[in-house]
Amino acid sequence: MLLGDIVRYCDDLLNVRDIQDYPEAQNGLQVANAGSVSRIAAAVDLTAATVKHAIAETADFLIVHHGLSWSRKGPGDSYLERFSELVRHGVALYSVHLPLDCHAELGNAAVLGRRLGIANTEPFGMWHGQPIGVRGELDISRDDLGDRLADVLGAPPKRMLFGPEKSKRIGIVTGAAASLMPEARTSGLDTYITGEGNHHTYFDAEELRLNVFYGGHYSTETFGVRALADHLSATFAIPWVFLDHPTGL
């Protein structure tokens, strides 16, 4: 399969050109190869370890959520090393951050919501005028929801249970989105799921009387890249593999 065809398909599918993001995201193709794709790999983060893993898996198209330029410190030796290894081994790099989060079918929050059984989902979680998560309905005790979330994520979430014992209206924004707790409350939600938050956000949850679950930044953001890789595999008949490199954070 031609690299250019897959890149154009991803750009259009995810509306990469029109969705605003952090400057360091640099969504789209970040590193090209000789021009063909025969095996796809997906990872949450572009690191030395995931580059090495992609090479070991003989992948020539690597999809990540946090790409080559993600570090706010700017390029350094590690940046150049990762870049040179990708080029030397013919691995193209496609990075997609908020455009993937926003996607109604393939986005991290959308997939996680389906896995949890949340129904009647709609966009939620505004960032620069665009929703980056979902909200919906699920009649479940907050304790059972925490247990279900642990099963889906593979690790127990941090629970801050200040809302009703029964969760019914739930919002999800993956990653580091604790700052959207007030929007969850004003939107009439009783429960909010995200990846992580700062120390003071415990008191935000307490004072807003919300049930809040922190599932981990990494764990809540594995869903999108996996869904995109699986979609591309089905569309273009190309095998794919997930490169798991968890941080526990």
| 77/82 Cα distance (integer angstroms) | 9
Strand partners, 133: 124
Strand-pair category, 211-214 with 191-194: parallel
- pLDDT classification of 76: cutoffs 50, 70, 90: low
| 223/113 Cα distance (integer angstroms) | 10
| 68/83 Cα distance (integer angstroms) | 8
| 197/2 Cα distance (integer angstroms) | 41
Residue type, 22: Y
Token readout for 52 is: 């090495």
User: Going from the N-terminus, what domains does the chain have, and what CATH number goes with each?
Assistant: 3-100+222-242 (3.40.1390.30), 102-220 (3.40.1390.30)
Token readout for 225 is: 């890249």
User: In this predicted structure, what is the pLDDT of residue 128?
Assistant: 84
Query: Would you say the C-alpha torsion 134, 139, 143, 145 has a positive or negative sign?
Result: negative
Question: Global pTM?
Answer: 0.96
Report pLDDT digits (tens) over 148-174.
999 999 999 999 999 999 999 999 999
Residue 188, classified by CB atoms within 10 Å of its CB into exposed (0-12), middle (13-18) or buried (19+), is exposed
What are the backbone angles phi and psi of residue 86, rounded to the nearest 5°? Answer: -60, -45
Report pLDDT digits (tens) over 10-60.
999 999 999 999 988 999 999 999 999 999 999 999 999 999 999 999 999
Top pLDDT among 171 and 80 is at 171
| 180/171 Cα distance (integer angstroms) | 10
**Contact indicator for 163, 140 with CB cutoff of 8 Å:** no
